[in-house]
Amino acid sequence: MGMLDWTEKSAEVLQQGGVIGPDERLPWPQTVAMGVQHVIAMFGATVLAPILMGFDPNIAILMSGIGTLIFFVITGGKVPSYLGSSFAFIGVVIAATAYAGKGPNANIGVALGGIIACGALYTLIGVLVQVIGTGWIERFMPPVVTGAVVAVIGLNLASIPVKNMAASNFDSWMQVVTFVSVGLVAVLTRGMVQRLLILVGLIVATLIYAVLTNGLGMGKPMDLSGLLNAAWFGAPAFTAPVFTGNAMLMIAPVAIILLAENLGHIKAVTAMTGKNLDVYMGRAFIGDGIATMVSGSAGGTGVTTYAENIGVMAATKIYSTAVFLVAALIAVLLGFSPKFGAVIQVIPLPVMGGVSIVVFGLIAVAGAKIWVDNKVDFSQNKNLIVAAITLVLGTGDFTLKFGQFALGGIGTATFGAILLYALLNRKA
């Protein structure tokens, strides 16, 4: 199979709720619609991360598209994945640049140098994996470990929509309206509408929000002025990196967290599709590493495989890499169009929060599905202890500090699960 030679599946497969594998695709109109859904899924977090670090969100969107294209080419179009802004960089970037938390980051160049160093380290790890193979992954990451790690990716992010995306009681109720809308679309509709459950649920909830706020004055009204005033076309402001030893030493170890996320992502997609993608692990690391270096060299954030998009795949059962090619191309266009960026910015935060609750929950369940599908035996104490500790480390965001570098919840849970299993499995 060539890189762009997907097997086209008919609309009947869609109607019957069938699975579309990584090397298959729907007809192009449906593929484009799915691509739009993936763009919306990644958009909130991909824009939020640069804002929290004082970076330019338009560049982050542009580089997420370019990064996804790089990843697509390096993995030969075999691994369904979207690369968006990584939150793992936020703490170290703020520390390295002494960023005050509002407006543009005056020391962004120093952070970019560190992000490039991180991408280089990550790429080297990928080359190493490519050379020595992935047998060690199987040994260190049996289903009990991978299930826990995948679940943790969703659970670790759970507090973001619950704590940060609802400023008032009305907003919290709007989150409920949103996830109920998505749920009703998922269960009551068929065919393409059902596959676009995130997008359709989001549109329905946004319309309800507009009626309640702009119409009935119940919450914060939607502000369309930014959308009307935004230019259709505009080049983002690129920034050059500055290389300083201190920032590079501080930011480079984030590669370990990106590696953990990517590993969990590939295990999740393997479990969902039934296709073993471990053989592409090294190439996936290299793709992610090079994408991070390219992003850092232009003023973008470090990138990582996106959990939001795993959630969309889990909900739609469409794993076609063609969808991610489309999503990447749309993101590149968005990077050059402030108007498109403004459309997404108009979506009310509580509606995005309600969608996030669904998406992060789907990832947590994808982890549990790995246990069920592989018949993990929880009457064995080693399995019970590994799963129990991993879930709480990740959900509680257990953090370990090594000097300036902090390993947060997903990182401690991933490495904790691997090391704990290795320790407790010694008797075997």
Q: Which DSSP string corresponds to 95-153?
A: HHHT--SSSS-TTHHHHHHHHHHHHHHHHHHHHHHHHH-SHHHHHH--HHHHHHHHHHH
Which 3 state secondary structure label does DSSP give 374? coil
Q: What is the pLDDT of residue 404?
A: 65
pTM over 0.85: no
Per-residue model confidence as pLDDT tens digits over 143-166: 898 888 878 877 887 887 888 777
Report, as ranges of residue numbers, the positions in the chain whose pLDDT lies below 50: 1-2
What was the pLDDT predicted at 16? 67
pLDDT digits (tens, 9 = 90+) for 121-137: 999 999 999 999 877 76
Task: Give the span between the Cα atoms of 351 and 314, in whole angstroms.
Answer: 20
Helix boundaries (H) for 275-379: 281-298, 307-316, 321-335, 338-346, 349-373
77-132 pLDDT, tens digit per residue, is 889 999 999 877 876 787 788 776 666 788 899 999 999 999 999 999 999 999 99
What percent of the chain is helix, strand and coil (3-state, nearest 5)?
A: 70, 5, 25
The one-letter code for the residue type at 383 is N
Condensed to tens digits (0 to 9), the pLDDT of residues 38-61 reads 988 887 778 777 877 888 888 999
- State the pLDDT at residue 296: 95
Contact 109, 239 (CB under 8 A): yes
Contact 125, 255 (CB under 8 A): yes
Q: How many CA within 13 A on the CB side of residue 310? A: 31
- pLDDT at position 2 is 45
| Whole-number pLDDT of residue 260 | 74
At residue 156, the 3 state secondary structure works out as helix
Other C-beta atoms lying within 10 Å of the C-beta of residue 259? 24
pLDDT, position 57: 84
